[in-house]
Chain A
Amino acid sequence: MRASTSGQNVQETQLQTRPGVDLVLEANDDWKIQEIGFDGVERYLKPESFTDHVGTLARKVEWTKLVGSQSPYENSKVDPEEEFDDENVAKGSQNGKSADFVTPEAGPWSVVAKQLHESLNQLNILLDDMSVIKNTDYMKALTVLDPITVQEPSMEFINTNRGNQWIWKRRALQEAVQVLDNATKQRQRALVNLGLSADYIAHLQRTQFFEELKEMREIWRVRKTGDYIYGDLSYHIFGWKYDTPNIFDISRRSFSNKTENSSLSIIEVSVPKDLAKRSMIAVSIVKDEMDAGKLFRDPKAKKYKYTYKENDAEKVEVLHWKDSLKWAQNTLLLRDTFSNLCKDAIKLRNRLSIIRDNVLLISLFDDYLLRFELQWFPFEHGEIKEEGDVYLNRVLREMIIGFECTKFIRPQFFCSMPVTHLPENLDLRGCGAMTSVQIEDRSVRPRSILERVLDVAAHHQLTQIVANVALKISESIDPMVQHRWLNCGRNFSRLMFNLNSKDYESFMGTVRSVFFANVSSYEVEVEAKDGIKIKCQRDPKRILYALQYSVCCYSVSMVSVLSRNQWLSPFQTMDANIYALDNNGMTAPNIILCNQAATRSILFIFHVGQEPEVFVRKFIVNERTSKPEEHKWRKLNYHKLSGMSLCKKVDSLLSYLRDG
């Protein structure tokens, strides 16, 4: 456009006198702006097409002048101008115009003045243009330094814009590629070098750290607050966790030397210093005697008194968390347990107890004491020798765990009621119209661990006493005593004794050959098969006596059975008394037999725990007429009777006296 106009101008200046300077400021190739609205919208002029151009030019032709105003419209007259092209038309019109509208000239300089005026006008226009450009921001040209402030596109636009999506996808892909590239690069480098790069080591350590953390989470409560990762050592299942004194910190171990210590865990834990020791509670039953040895610890001895000192901090650091956490928690658990045991012991009014230097002594029964000792060991690897009674240790442990697993707080009958400690069967105490007796029966609380351990320990000790006695009595071969445990419980056990006379089993059909010993936490009782019980309290001598007495009763029965044996020696039992007393006032079951011919009486006295005595005399026919000196009991030497066992001896004696 500009070219064409300037071309025109050039032509004009050539053809005419110079009309002044025509200054135009326009974009070099653009549609012409027709106007800029107040809203800043530009309206463009549509560029003229060829036909438009021809049209405008044609409109400029003054046809009347060409053909004369009077002459009618005739096509023929147009002929001379048939070859008119654009240029000619323009020329013609220009020429016509200038000829027609020549203003009268007012002096020789008027043309110059006019052209000068024209030029000045053009300059003014140019100035206006410049000021418009200068004051309008968006039209300013940018320099290289200017930041490009793109107007913020709306979110919707961004989201829907496919181009953006492509960019994002591409970027994401690039990131992934970068990570993968990095990994392969590292791997290759590691393979190539065999020596490991620092980056690779760091990467490995990071992965290992998270893997171990995952493993740790399977056993321990781990939590992260801010940048700190920490865990909980407390062992409670119910209620609040993360009690500040029981928290351990988790950190990543920084290896100073890359290659060493591959066996070390990457996770480093710092347990509370007071828990950095290994512990054990040893429970044992001791006798309160002069020669029982030291019931308490020697205050000067260093054993079990380990405390955390600064100088073994390094040793603690290298421990694997699996060990150190387990030990620390055990220490915490046992420390709490021991203090609870001591608290319970103080509350038990009917039992004496002494607490000193992590040793608790509490009276069990009679001379026996139950001893709890809290032992501390260094926080390092190594076998700890289990001291005390293994059974009791385990029982205590089991009770602690049982206690921890018990939920004492429970919701009541309706979920909207407050939670309670009361036993569940008391929920309906009011609306069920329970009597005070019922309420009291149902509101029994569980007993403390210490009381339960005391019961178990007492039972344990009594069982051992009984077992010793049973061993002693089983040494007897005449009759043979066998025993076996029928029932072994925490608080009640039952022992069965079986008696047997060798070679005379066939006679034993009707004889009561079985009796029992019942052991509870408080006492032992010997029970015959017919249900008669002999209480023995906790005295081994009385237990032994009761057992031997039962054997004597068996012997009496055995003698009576043998005497009745028809085919061998039919004797009559004149008298049998298992409650008889001997001269010393001790129980001594006896039996008096008389032979069929009524000539001889035989008396067997079974002193408890001793050899039987056998006496023989002539049978007294008439109690009144007989003289006592004539009918003295003659004692037979038991040893000299033929036969090895009681039954054999009785058998042979009876067969000898049968007819005599």
Chain B
Amino acid sequence: MGVTWVFEVDQTAKSVERLLESFGGECVSTFAVDISPYTPPTGNADHASNIVMHHSKCPQSTFSICPKDTFKKSPKAVCDRGFDLILSKLSNGLIIDTAGKIDINGNEYKLNDWTVRVGTAVQGTAVKGVVVEVEYDASLIVVQCREMMVEFVKYVFNKYYQTQPEIFIITEKPENYSPLDTMWQYLLIAAKLRKKT
């Protein structure tokens, strides 16, 4: 998994796809991301909610983050799918918030070293927006490809490049990009989308 930038767009998924195709992008497959919050039963707020996410790119993994102010501070873990089964056993303390679950489904485009995923975010039955994930497959180090990614987004969409993700801004020391960084971006977007009406 290379360095990835996830952002919300105000276009329709179709228009973004057409845009990508005009640049030579090739639709290779579909993808799916789901973000489900698990919250303690009512009246028990002594521990925070836990966001459980899946990404079709890592079919055997479950990502779990208990969001705090920043990514660094949030307790987080990458697990295998057995975690989902264990979570169901923890129903006394953590209950899935079905209403708050957001599913993002869409297509995956390949453009040389770039993988772009365009998906429609749906909460329940309500469409909440369109999410684009731009992944530069060739690198794992953010500082290496940050500028190039900004340029890519600027070139393709000619907007959205101003609001860069947290990981792009905080780079005191070059750390390897991890899939959890991607999922954190999804988490933030999902939180934003949930508030949207």
A/B contact in complex, CB under 8 angstroms: yes
Residues of A at under 8 Å CB distance from B? Answer: 429-436, 439
CB–CB A432/B78 < 8 A: yes
Contacts of A431 in B (CB 8 A): 61, 77-80
- Tell whether B81 is near chain A: CB-to-CB under 8 Å: yes
Q: Is B59 an interface residue (CB 8 A)?
A: yes
A-B pairs with the 9 shortest C-beta distances?
Answer: A430-B80, A433-B179, A430-B60, A429-B60, A433-B58, A433-B61, A431-B78, A430-B61, A436-B59
Given contacts A435-B57, A436-B57, contact A430 B62 (CB under 8 A): yes
CA distance A439 to B61 in the complex (A): 11
**B1 touches which of A430, A435, A439 (Cβ 8 Å):** A435
In the assembled complex, how far is the CB of residue B75 from the closest CB belonging to chain A, in whole angstroms? 15
Excluding A431-B77, A433-B178, A434-B58, 10 further A-B contacts by CB distance (< 8 Å) are A430-B82, A430-B83, A431-B61, A433-B63, A433-B78, A433-B179, A433-B180, A435-B57, A435-B58, A436-B57
| CB proximity to A under 8 Å, residues B161-179 | 178-179
* Between-chain CB contacts (< 8 Å), 24 pairs: A429-B61, A429-B80, A430-B80, A430-B81, A430-B82, A430-B83, A431-B61, A431-B79, A431-B80, A432-B61, A432-B78, A433-B1, A433-B61, A433-B63, A433-B178, A433-B179, A434-B60, A435-B1, A435-B57, A435-B58, A436-B56, A436-B58, A436-B59, A439-B59
CB distance from A376 to the nearest CB of B (A): 49
B181 to chain A, nearest CB (A): 11
User: CA–CA, A439 to B60, complex, Å?
Assistant: 9
**Which residues of the partner chain A approach B1 to less than 8 Å between Cβ atoms?**
433, 435
**Which residues from A are CB-within-8-Å of B57?**
435-436
> Across the interface, which residues of B come within 8 angstroms of A433, CB to CB?
1, 58, 61, 63, 78, 178-180
Q: Which residues of A contact B82 (CB under 8 A)?
A: 430
Bound complex: CA of A436 vs CA of B81, how far in Å? 14
Secondary structure class of chain B's binding surface, majority of residues: mixed
Q: Name the residue among B1, B57, B60, B61 with the largest chain A CB count within 10 angstroms.
A: B60
Q: Which of A430, A434, A436 has the most CB of B within 10 A?
A: A430
Number of interface residues of B (CB under 8 A): 19
Measured CB to CB, the nearest residue on chain B to A426 is B60
Contact partners of B179 in chain A: CB under 8 A: 433
For the complex, give the distance between the alpha carbons of A439 and B82 in Å: 17
Within 8 A of A (CB), among B59-109: 59-63, 77-83
Contacts of B80 in A (CB 8 A): 429-431
| Distance between B6 CB and nearest chain A CB, rounded to angstroms | 16
- CB-based nearest B residue for A428: B80
Specify the chain B residue showing the minimal Cβ separation from A440.
Answer: B59
Residues of the A chain whose Cβ atoms lie less than 8 Å from the Cβ of B81: 430
Inside 8 A of A434's CB, which chain B residues have their CB?
A: 58, 60-61
Residues of chain A within 8 A (CB-CB) of B83 are 430
Please name the residue on chain A nearest to B59 by beta carbon: A436
A435 to B58, CA, bound (A): 4
Rounded to whole angstroms, the CA-CA distance of A569 and B63 in the bound complex is: 81
Measured between beta carbons, the chain A residues less than 8 angstroms from B58 are 433-436
Please give, as numbers and ranges, the residues of chain B lying within 8 Å of A435 by CB-CB distance.
Answer: 1, 57-58
Interface string of B37-73 (1 = CB under 8 A from A): 0000000000000000000111111110000000000
Within the complex, the shortest CB–CB distance from B53 to chain A, in Å, comes to 11
Q: How far is the CA of A429 from the CA of B56 in the complex (A)?
A: 13
**Complexed CA–CA distance, A130 and B180 (Å):** 109
Residues of A within 8 A of B59 (CB): 436, 439
Per-residue interface assignment for chain B, residues 20 to 46, with 1 indicating a CB less than 8 Å from any chain A CB and 0 otherwise = 000000000000000000000000000
User: With A and B bound together, what is the CA distance between A645 and B93 in angstroms?
Assistant: 95
Nearest Cβ distance between residue A49 and chain B, in whole angstroms? 97
Q: How far is the CA of A433 from the CA of B183 in the complex (A)?
A: 11
Complex Cα spacing A429 to B58, Å: 9
- Measured between beta carbons, the chain B residues less than 8 angstroms from A439 are 59-60
B70 to nearest A CB, angstroms? 21
Give the shortest distance, in Å, between B111 (CB) and chain A (any CB).
17
Q: What's the least CB distance linking A413 to chain B, in Å?
A: 10
CB distance from A437 to the nearest CB of B (A): 9
Q: Give complex CA distance A436, B54 in Å.
A: 13
A430 and chain B: residue at smallest CB distance: B80
Residue of B whose beta carbon sits closest to that of A432: B78
B143 to A: closest C-beta gap in Å: 21
A433 CA to B63 CA in the complex, in Å?
Answer: 9
Closest to B1 in A: A435
Closest beta carbon of chain A to B84's beta carbon, Å = 10
- Whose C-beta in chain A lies nearest to the C-beta of B180? A433
CA distance A434 to B58 in the complex (A): 6
Residues of B within 8 A of A432 (CB): 61, 78
Report the bound CA distance from A433 to B1 in whole Å: 9
Interface-centre pick from A431, A433, A436, A439 (highest chain B CB count, 10 A):
A433
A430 to B79, CA, bound (A): 6
**CA distance in complex: A435, B1 (Å):** 7
The minimal Cβ–Cβ distance linking A657 to chain B, given in whole angstroms, is 60
Cα separation A435 to B61 with both chains bound (whole Å): 9
Q: Mark B178-195, 1 if CB is under 8 A from A, else 0.
A: 111000000000000000
A436 to B82, CA, bound (A): 17
Most chain A CB within a 10 A radius of its CB, from B61, B62, B81, B180: B61
**Shortest beta-carbon distance from A239 to chain B in Å:** 27
Residues of A within 8 A of B78 (CB): 430-433
* Complex Cα gap A431–B180 (Å): 11
- Chain A: CB-nearest residue to B29: A436
Q: Give the complex CA separation of A431 and B79 in angstroms.
A: 4
Which chain B residue shows the least CB distance to A429?
A: B60
Q: Whole-angstrom distance from the CB of A6 to the nearest CB of chain B?
A: 104
Residue from A429, A432, A435 having most chain B Cβ neighbours under 10 A = A435
Closest CB in chain A relative to B76 CB, distance in Å: 12
Bound CA–CA A430/B77 (angstroms): 11
A430 CA / B82 CA spacing, docked (Å): 9
B178 cross-chain contacts in A, Cβ below 8 A: 433
Q: How far is the CA of A488 from the CA of B180 in the complex (A)?
A: 48
Distance between A422 CB and nearest chain B CB, rounded to angstroms:
11
Would you give the shortest CB distance from B94 to chain A, in whole angstroms? 19
Interface centre among B57, B62, B77, B80 (most CB of A within 10 A): B80
Which chain B residue shows the least CB distance to A427? Answer: B80
Closest B residue, CB atoms, query A431: B78
How far apart sit A432 and B57, CA to CA, in the bound complex (Å)?
12
Q: How far is the CB of A417 from chain B (nearest CB, A)?
A: 10
Among residues of B, the one whose C-beta sits closest to the C-beta of A433 is B179
Cα(A434)–Cα(B55), bound, Å: 11
Complexed CA–CA distance, A432 and B82 (Å): 14
* Smallest CB gap from B183: residue in A: A433
Nearest-CB distance from A147 to chain B (Å)? 73
Query: Chain B nearest CB: distance from A622 CB in Å?
Result: 55
